[in-house]
Amino acid sequence: MVAARRVRARQVPTLAESRSIYLPPWRVDVTVRPGIPRLLPLAELARTVARALDAAGPPRPASLGLILADDRELAGLNATHMGVDGPTDVLSFPLLPPQTFPAHHGAGRPAGGSPGRPTAATVFPLPPGVRTHLGDVVVSVERAVAQAAGGRGGWTGDLRWAPADELRLLVTHGVLHVCGWDHAEPAEEAAMRAFEARLLRAASAS
């Protein structure tokens, strides 16, 4: 709890800040809402996004929006888009269908319920130099801090680790959702969790 208080006392923007960070072939558009604490440098968050995109294999070059917000904003989005009351930790808003992305074990099942591999969908051709926008990820930094401080972090909700580690996980999770990953079925969930763990291990080793 003391660590969480220190995190909250750090650099807190009073105005929304937006920054585009280029990590070819990706552009990460990061927006920090007013009053949101900085758990990690924006450049490090952008690298987390880029690492997940590199692994997930979306069309390139592309851009993705990352919005760092609070429980109030996530609660509003959760009610509007998911029909669920109360805040959540991360929401993803993909713009491309799951079939756009390479086949993987976290892709779910096609219509009809039988297992299968998705086929590549046609992405509308863009003029040279124009990036495909993959979608947006909105994270409640407030949730990340509370879950980490309360020992409710990680995939199982019973991991006590630093708020920054929880934020990395939520960002990675949100990006994978944009790239067609899901966890509605046990097999999908196991595949997605294993993939996230691999990406986070790679991040800690770099």
Cis peptide before 186 (omega within 30 of 0): no
Q: What is the pLDDT of residue 109?
A: 44
Q: What is the pLDDT of residue 103?
A: 85
Q: What is the pLDDT of residue 107?
A: 67
Q: What is the mean pLDDT of the chain?
A: 84
Q: What range does the domain containing 80 cover?
A: 2-205
- Put the strands of the sheet holding 62-69 in their side by side order: 17-23, 26-32, 62-69, 132-140, 90-94
Domain count, the chain: 1
In this structure, the strands spanning 17-23 and 26-32 are antiparallel
- For the entire predicted model, the pTM comes to 0.84
**CATH number (domain holding residue 86):** 3.40.390.30
Distance of CA 102 to the CA centre of its chain: 18
pLDDT digits (tens, 9 = 90+) for 69-128: 999 999 999 999 999 999 999 999 999 998 889 987 776 544 333 333 333 444 566 666
Q: Which long-range contacts (CB under 8 A, 24 or more apart) does 154-162 make?
A: 155/193, 155/196, 162/3
Q: What is the pLDDT of residue 58?
A: 95
Write down the number of H helices and E strands in the chain: 6, 5
CA atoms within 13 A on the CB side of 139: 32
Residue 156 pLDDT class (50, 70, 90 cuts)? confident
Give the separation between CA 44 and CA 74, rounded to whole angstroms. 23
